[in-house]
Structure 1
Amino acid sequence: MTQPQLPLADRAALVTGGGSGIGLGCALRFAAEGAHVTVAGRGEDRLKAAVAELEAVAAPGARVGYVVADVTDEDQTRAAVEHAASLGRPLTAVVASAGGNSTMGPITLVDTQKWRDTVDLNVTGTMLVLKHGARHMVRAGGGSFVAISSVASAATHRWFGAYGVAKAGIDHLVRLAADELGASRVRVNSIRPGLVRTEMVETVTAGGPVLDDYLACTPLGRIGEPADIAALAAFLVGPESTWLTGQTISADGGHHLRRGPDYRPVLEPLFGPEALRGAVDG
C-alpha cells in the first residue's frame, strides 16, 4: 500500500486495552494504515511489548506509543486521551477495548463487589473514554468512536454474571452518544465479537466441550481472530463509513443467530447442579 492509499494517514488514534487481544489487533491495523497510534492499558510491560509489535508494522511516518492508564480512573483516562491528541494530528479515532469479567457463576452466588467491578470496568470505563475522547473529536470537526461489546450483550450467556449486562449497557451508551454527537459529526458505534482467540479466553479456545459448543453455535464454524475485529474497526474509523452511526455490529461468525454457549461442563464441577439452577443455602 503506497502512502497516498493509507486510509488512516494524518490522524491520531487511541486504543484502550491495546496491550493485547482485540485492542492490540485494532492498534496493529490502524498503525499499518498510517495512523499515529497510542495504546493504553494497566500493564506497562505488556504495553511496551505491544509498541514493539506496532513499530514493526507501522506505515512510514506513523508514530506509536503507550500510556499506562486504568479506564475506571477518570484522571488517568483523561491523560491517555490528551497524550493521544498531542501527536501533531487530530484525534479522530478512538477504540474502547478495555474490558473483562470477574463474575462467572450462578446469579444467586454472585459476589456483589465483583459485579460492581465488572460493570465499572466495562460501562464506566467505556463512558470515560468516550467522554474525554469525544471532546477532542468535536473540536477536530468530527471523528469515530468504536466500543467493543460482545455477543453476550444480546444472547444470554448463562452464569456470566455481570458481563453480558455490562456489554448491553455499552450498546445503549453507543446509541445515546451517537444521537447526541451526530450534530458534531462524531460517529459512535459498537462491535459485538463472538469467541475470539485472546488471552482472556485461552482456557476455552484451547479445546474441550465448551469450545465444541461454541463452534456448534457458530454457523461459520471457527474461532474469531483479533484481526477479524480489527478489520471492522478500521472500516468504522475510516473514510468509507461516514454515514454510519449508532450501530451495534455483530462480528461473530453468525453466533448471534443461535444461542449462548453452554458452560455447564466447566461450572457444574465447581458449583454443583443445584447451584446452577439457583438453589443455594442461606
Structure 2
Amino acid sequence: MIDLTGKTAIVTGSSRGIGRAIAELFARCGANVVVSSRSEEACTPVVEAISAAGGEALAIPCHIGKKDQLQSLVDKTIAAYGQIDMLVCNAAINPVYGPMQDLSDEAFDKIMGTNVRSTFNLCNMVLPGMAQNGGGTVVILSSIAGIRGSLTIGAYGISKAAEAALARNLALEWGPKNIRVNALAPGLIKTDFAKALWEDKERLDRIEQRTPLRRIGAPEDIAGTALFLATDLSAYVTGQTIVADGGETIS
C-alpha cells in the first residue's frame, strides 16, 4: 500500500527540514517527486540526493506567496509527469517571535497570506485535475500551535488552525471525487525553521520533560506520518488533523 511507482507528488518547502524528509521518503517509495522552494539552488541538492538513491525528482522553484508562481508549479509538474496524484503543502513562514500585542498589520497579513491563502490557492489549482484523473491525496502541514495557545508564535498558530479548517472543508467538497485531504500537526521538530524554540537549552529541557517520549521530533518522524496520510494506508481517513508530537499536547 506504499508503492508509489508511477505516482507524482508535489512537496512545497522541500529544500530542507520536514519537506525534504517527506520528498526523500516519497521518492524511496517510488514516487516522482517535485521538489519546490524559493530558489532552484536550494532544491538542487535534494534532487541530487534523490537521484543518487535511485529515485526520480525534479526541481521547480516557487515562491508560494505569488499566485502566478503557484500556477507555474502546477503547470510544469503536469508537463513533466502528466498529472498530480499527491500534494503536500508544507511551505510556511513565521517571521515574528513574541506576543501578538506587538504584531504589525503587515506581519499578520504576511503570515496569513503566505501560510493560508497560498495553500488555498494551490489546492484550488491542483484538485480539479486530481478529480479528472480519478482521485488523489492532499496533506496540509498544520501544527500543534494551531491547537493550543502560545505567547510567542500566536499568529503562526492562527494560520495553522486555519489550515486545519481548510483541510476539513476541502475534504467535504472533494471527497465525492475520491480525493482525501488531511492536516498533519507536528509538535516541536528539530529543524532550522523551529530553531528559536529548540536551541534554548532550558526551554528544550522543559519540553522534553513534559513530552511522554522524552524527546523532540525529527523530520523523519513527520515524513512517516505524511506517507501514511498520502497513501492507501489511510484510505478511510479524510478531513482529520493528525497530531504527531510525541504526546506533548496530552501531557
CA distance in 2, matches of 1:232, 1:6: 12
Aligned to 2:5: 9
Aligned position for 1:94:
87
Unaligned runs of 5+ in 1: 259-282
The aligned runs of 1:202-213 (5 Å cut-off) are 202-213=195-206
Q: Which residue of 2 aligns with 1:82?
A: 75
CA-to-partner distance for each residue in 1:42-86, whole Å, 9 max, x for gaps? 122211112112212344xxx211111111211110111122223
Q: CA deviation at 1:206?
A: 3.4
Q: Counterpart of 1:18 in structure 2: which amino acid?
A: S
Displacement, 1:256? Answer: 1.6
The CA deviation string for residues 81-116 of structure 1, in whole angstroms up to 9 with x for no partner, is 122223335311010000021121122211221111
Matching residue's letter, 1:14? I
| Counterpart selection for 2:176 from 175, 179, 183 | 183
Give the secondary structure class of the aligned counterpart of 2:234: coil
Aligned residue number for residue 161 of structure 1 = 154
Aligned mates of 2:151, 2:200 — CA distance in 1: 20
Aligned with residue 194 of structure 1, among 182, 187, 201:
187
Unaligned runs of 5+ in 2: none
The 2-side partners of 1:253 and 1:161 are apart by 21
Residue 43 of structure 2 is matched in structure 1 by: 47
Where do 1:14-163 residues align within 5 Å?
Answer: 14-59=10-55, 63-163=56-156
- Computed over aligned residues only, the root mean square deviation of the Cα atoms, in angstroms, reads 1.5
Corresponding residue for 2:239? 246
Is the Cα–Cα contact under 8 Å of residues 2 and 232 in structure 2 kept in the other structure? Answer: no
Opposite residue 164 of structure 1, the aligned amino acid is G
Residues 1:183 and 1:47: Cα distance change in structure 2 (over 3 Å): same
d(CA) in 2 for partners of 1:223, 1:106? 24
- How has the CA–CA distance of structure 1 residues 162 and 6 changed in structure 2, closer, same or farther, with 3 Å as cutoff? closer
Alignment partner of 2:212: what SS? coil
Q: CA deviation at 1:227?
A: 0.8
Q: Amino acid of the residue matched to residue 10 of structure 1?
A: G
C-alpha separation in 2, matches of 1:187 and 1:143: 7
Q: In structure 1, what is the equivalent of residue 229 of structure 2?
A: 236
**Could you tell me how far 1:213 is from its partner in structure 2?**
2.0
Deviations along 1:229-259, whole A, 9 cap, x unmatched?
A: 111111111122221100100011011214x
8 Å CA contact 1:198–1:226 kept in 2: the answer is yes
TM-score by length of 2: 0.95
Distance 2:150 2:52 in 1: 38
Q: Is the CA contact (8 Å cut-off) linking 1:28 and 1:58 kept in structure 2?
A: no
Structure 2 CA distance for partners of 1:65 and 1:88, relative to 1, 3 Å: closer
Deviation of 1:6 (Å): 5.9
2:180 is paired with a residue whose SS is strand
The change in CA–CA distance for 1:47 and 1:105 in structure 2 (over 3 A counts) is: same
What is the number of residues matched between the two proteins? 251
Alignment partners' CA distance in 1, 2:100 and 2:232:
43
For 2:218, which of 225, 229, 240 is the aligned residue? 225
Q: TM-score when scaled to structure 1?
A: 0.85
Contact 1:7–1:239 (Cα < 8 Å) also in 2: no
1:20 and 1:247 mapped to 2: Cα distance? 26
